[in-house]
Amino acid sequence: MKMQNTRKITDNVVWIGANDRRIALFENLFPVERGVSYNSYMILDEKTAVMDTADSAVTQQFLENVRRTLDGRDLDYIVVNHMEPDHCANIEMLMRLYPGAKVVGNAKTFQMIGQFYDVDLTDRTVTVKEGDVLELGQHRLQFVFAPMVHWPEVMMAYEQTEKILFSADAFGSFGAVDALFNDEQDNPFADLAEMRRYFANIVGKYGPQVQAVLKKAAGLEISTICPLHGQVWRRDLDLLLEKHDKWSRYEAEEKAVAIFYASMYGNTAEAAEVLAAMLAEAGVKNTVVYDVSRTHVSWLIAEIFRCSNLVLAAPTYNNGLYPAMLNLLEDMKALNLQNRKVSIVENGSWAPQAGKIMREKLAGLKGMEILEKSVTVKSSLKEGQMEELRQMCAEIAGSLKA
C-alpha cells in the first residue's frame, strides 16, 4: 500500500496529485527529462469534490491520496475540467469506488466520456454551463469555459471564497514538481524554459483562445492558480500572466537571435557558426545556435516563442528541403507561429532549392518578415561569402535595434 502524499493548499483544499519521473515522452511525443506532474485537487466542505483525476501511470498513488484525504467521508463530486486521458484516466475507477459521487462536466465533457469509456452515467451527472456555480458549502465553484485550451470541452473552475482558480492545462508546465508551491523557492518560475516549452507545444496553437481566458481571468480576483501540470502559483501571479499574454500574442519575449541549422557534413553548420561569431562581435548578445537534427523540435519551437529573430540555414535534399528543417517549419505552421524576423541561408551542391522552399513555407505563416540578405552556399563556405554573411549580420543587428 502507498503512503499518503498530499499537500494542503488551504485548510480544506488539498493537492492529491502525483509526479511521474519515469515517463520518457509526454503524449508519447515530447521528451520530458524532468518528468511531469499530474495535479489533482480535493475540496473538503459540506460536500466533497475531486478536481480532475490523474494519469493511469500514477493511479495507485492518486487513489490512496483520495482515500486518505477523504478520511472515511464519501465523495460527492468528480469535477472534470479536461477530458484528456492524462487527467481523466481514473474517472471510471472513482465512480466505482464512490458510487454516490456525481460527475460534473459540460455537454462536451459527457460526449467525450462516452467516447473514451463505457461507464453508466445514469443519474450520475451534473451538467454545467458557463458561469454556473456549484455549491459545496463555504466553497463555491464558478465554471469558466476555456474551449481549445487545450481541447474543446475544457473549462476552469474558480473557487469564489478562497479565490482559487483551477485552471486545467492553462498555466501548466513540463517537469515534475520538486516544490509544489512556487513560493517554496527563490525564483518565481521553477523552470521557465520548461514552462515555455509546455505552452509553445501544448497550447501554442491556441493563442486567441488563451487571450480569451486571460481576459476572463482579469475579471476575477485570484489568490492561487492550480493547474493540472506543474507548480501551484501563489506568488508573482502577474509574472505568470504576463508571460502567457506575450506567448499567446505570438510576441517575442526577447530581442535575440536563434540560429537553427541543418547540416549533413558540417558545411551549412560552418556558415551558421561563423554568423553566430560575427553577431557576437557586432555586440549582439544572447544568440543561441541549434542543430535541428540534434535538438528535439519542441525545444526549437520554444526558442522561437522566446526570440525575435531567427536564422534558418539548411541544405537541399532530394531536390527539396532537408527533412529535419522541413519538420521544424511544418511544426511552426501547426503551432501558428507568427511575427518573427527571419534570415535564410541555403546550401546546394548542384541545384539549390532549400531557400526557395523555406521562403514558401514561411509565406504560409502570419507576420513572418524575411530579411533581405540571404546567403547561398554551394557545397562549402568560401572566402567570398564572408562578406555576404557580414551583411546578413549587419542587417540582423540593425533589425534588433529597430
Residue numbers at the binding site for ligand FEO (CB under 6 A): 82, 84, 86-87, 150-151, 169, 228-229
Q: Which is nearer to ligand FEO, 38 or 317 (CB)?
A: 38
Minimum CB separation from ligand FEO for residue 382, in Å? Answer: 49
Q: Which is nearer to ligand FEO, 150 or 341 (CB)?
A: 150
CA–CA dist 148, 166 (Å, integer): 16
Number of H helices and E strands in the chain, helices first, is 12, 23
Q: Which is nearer to ligand FEO, 48 or 109 (CB)?
A: 109
Q: Which is nearer to ligand FEO, 50 or 289 (CB)?
A: 50
Asked if residues 130 and 145 have their Cβ atoms less than 8 Å apart, the reply is yes
* Ramachandran quadrant class, 312 (left: phi over 0; alpha: psi -120 to 50; beta: rest): beta
Minimum CB separation from ligand FEO for residue 92, in Å? Answer: 17
* Ramachandran quadrant class, 131 (left: phi over 0; alpha: psi -120 to 50; beta: rest): left
Which of 250, 239, 264 lies closest to 379 in space, CA to CA? 264
Characterize the bridge pairing of strands 13-15 and 41-44: antiparallel
Measured at the CA of 250, the angle between CA 209 and CA 39, to 5 degrees, comes to: 55
Minimum CB separation from ligand FEO for residue 229, in Å? Answer: 6
Q: Which is nearer to ligand FEO, 30 or 158 (CB)?
A: 30
For the chain, first and last CA: distance in Å? 62
Residue nearest to ligand FEO (CB): 84
| Secondary structure class of 362 (helix, strand, coil) | helix
| Secondary structure class of 271 (helix, strand, coil) | helix
Minimum CB separation from ligand FEO for residue 228, in Å? Answer: 5
Q: Which helix (H) or strand (E) holds 388?
A: helix 383-401
How many other CB atoms are found less than 10 A from the CB of residue 69? 20
Q: Which is nearer to ligand FEO, 39 or 374 (CB)?
A: 39
> Which cell numbers in the block locate residue 312?
534558418
Q: Which is nearer to ligand FEO, 48 or 173 (CB)?
A: 173
Minimum CB separation from ligand FEO for residue 225, in Å? Answer: 15
Minimum CB separation from ligand FEO for residue 149, in Å? Answer: 9
Minimum CB separation from ligand FEO for residue 58, in Å? Answer: 13
Residue 374's Cα: distance from chain center in Å? Answer: 32
